[in-house]
Structure 1
């Protein structure tokens, strides 16, 4: 699966995460630090399964099933908001 943002979406990192701005509509989305980490990994071509494994390694208290659900929820939300090109 290849993940990309829509061409009209710009990304800005902040001290608290990442902001996505749809330059055509003016709508924006704020991702917290973990959401930003997941987004960057997706944009780098990392599979959702590998992202989940990385999250569980980085955050030892994370449960694999919850991390998987969180990554899936973020992907769904980005697609539903038409931020993702794929």
Structure 2
């Protein structure tokens, strides 16, 4: 299960979310689909649930939603915003 690091603050905005890494002072912005995926992760869901949420919210095929969710999660890991 992924979760945000404790020192990451999140604010919802009109077109996604803004995350602040309080250790570095660096801001990150995720778009609407990123916000959907992150919201599922914050509620304890995983990649499959995130893909389901994307297909419900947007008119995309499940394969595309799975690829998008995986990429968003990869970027969250790469930037160190989430922990496993």
1:55 aligns with 2:80: no
- Runs (4+) of structure 1 exceeding 4 A deviation are none
Structure holding more strand per residue: 2
Which of 76, 79, 82 is equivalent to 2:77? 79
Question: How far 1:52 sits from its partner (Å)?
Answer: 1.1
TM-score for the superposition, normalised by structure 1:
0.88
Give the structure with higher Rg (CA). 1
Structure 2: any 5+ residue segments left out of the alignment? none
Structure 1: any 5+ residue segments left out of the alignment? none
What is the count of residue pairs matched by the alignment? 84
Deviations 1:14-69 (A, max 9, x none): 1121001101111111011121111011110112112212321332x302111111
